[in-house]
Amino acid sequence: MEEFIKSFMKTITCCDLETGDFPGPIVTISRQSGCSAQRIAIKLSKILTGYSYMSDTKTDAEWKWVDKNIFKDVVDDIIEEVKKGNYDDADEAIKMLHQVAKAFSNETIYEISDESLIETFKGVVCRLACKGRTIIVGRSAGIILKDIPNKLNVRLEAPMEWRINRIMQLRDFSQAEAVRYVKEMDEKRDSFIERIIGRKANNEDFDVIFNYASLQDDEIIDAMVNILKNKNIIAQHEEY
């Protein structure tokens, strides 16, 4: 297993400071429980794809938000590379990649504590970043990709009371059930970040933080698009 991990993380590198070869563009959206990041990601992907198709070069212009199917596709590609490689621990590595894909799809990724699985997951996230024009919701992707320049890390937050009320409405929970759900989900996500970087996340880990309780989805999306333009994250690859 150690052989595969070392080789895997060496070949799937987030950035090369010597050559200036960086992945992206990529957007990550972190959120507290009760903040709906998925629908923002879906709409943002369509809007950014529209901007891309306004350019002269329309090849590979589609932006995609990473659902379980896209994540699995990337894992499957890596598995094919493992099969073609000369790894003594190939079978164990493939099993581990399948575990990561399954954990991503059902959100049990936050419960992973095995160091090898965490390193493999980080490598898959880096591979997603290398593909570019990608939006990743949650899974601590913003923390993993924090140091690459060609990205926008967004955080959605809201007051606890507002989030509890929203979960009560969305899931038809009692107040006690909603309180327990919000606290448990926040704790799981925060604990996973600690396992990845050895500390709690703070405001400096994100480029922008939105108060989801006081803003509409479209307002957040408009702000994100403008930030991407102003930081030349979009225009770096196409002329709009």
Tens-place pLDDT, residues 95-146: 889 999 999 888 788 888 888 888 889 888 888 888 888 999 988 888 888 8
What's the mean per-residue pLDDT of the chain?
84
Q: What is the DSSP letter of 17?
A: T
**SS3 state of residue 23:** coil
Tens-place pLDDT, residues 58-87: 445 789 999 888 999 999 988 898 888 777
The pTM score is 0.84
Structure token pair of residue 16:
């090369």
Query: pLDDT at residue 238 above 50?
Result: no
**39-42: long-range contacts at Cβ-Cβ below 8 A with a sequence spacing of 24 or more?**
39/217, 40/156, 40/217, 40/220, 40/221, 41/65, 41/135, 41/137
Element (H, E) at 157: strand 151-157
| Helical segments of the chain, H only | 2-11, 37-52, 68-84, 90-106, 115-131, 141-144, 160-171, 175-197, 217-230
Structural domains of the chain, ranges and CATH numbers in brackets = 2-230 (3.40.50.300)
